[in-house]
Structure 1
Amino acid sequence: MKLNTKQTFFIGLAFMSICAFWQLYDQMIPLMLEQTFQLNATLIGVIMSFDNILALFMLPLFGTLSDKIDTRLGRRTPFILIGTLLAVLFMIMIPIAANMKSIGFFIIALALTLIAMQSYRSPAVALMPDLTPKSLLSKANAIINLMGAIGGMVALILISLLVPEGVVNYLPLFISLAAIMLASVTLLLITVKEKKAALKSIKDESIIHEHKKMPKDVKRSLFFLLFSIAFWFMGYNAVTTAFSRYAAAIWDKGAGSSATLMLIATAAATIAYLPIGQLSARFGRKRMIQFGIILLGFGFLAGGLFTELSPLAYLIFACVGIAWASINVNSYPMVVAMASEGDTGKYTGIYYTFSMSAQIITPILSGFFIDLIGYEALFPYAFICTLLAFMTFMKVAHGDEKPSAKKGIEVFEEADA
Structure 2
Amino acid sequence: MTDINLADDGMPVWRQMLMGGQMLFVAFGALVLVPLLTGLDPNVAFFTAGIGTLIFQLCTRRQVPIFLASSFAFIAPITFSVQSWGLPATLGGMMAAGLFYVVLSFIIRLRGSGILYRLFPPVVVGPVIMVIGLGLASVAVDMASGDANSSIDPNTSLLLAGVALVTTLAVSTMAGGIFKLIPVICGIGAGYIAALFTGVVDFQPVIDRPWFAVPAFTAPEFNWNAILFMVPVAIAPAIEHIGDMLAISSVTGKKYLEKPGLKNTLMGDGFATSAAAMLGGPPNTTYSEVTGAVMLTKAFNPKIMTWAAIMAIAVAFISKVGGFLATIPTPVMGGIMMLLFGSIAVVGLSTMIKAQVDLSKPRNLVIVSVVLVFGIGNLALSMGEFTLKGVSLCAVTAVLLNAILPHADREDKFQSTGV
* TM-score, structure 2 as length reference: 0.27
Structure 1 or 2: more helix by fraction = 1
Higher relative contact order (CA 8 A, sep 6+): 2
* TM-score, structure 1 as length reference: 0.27
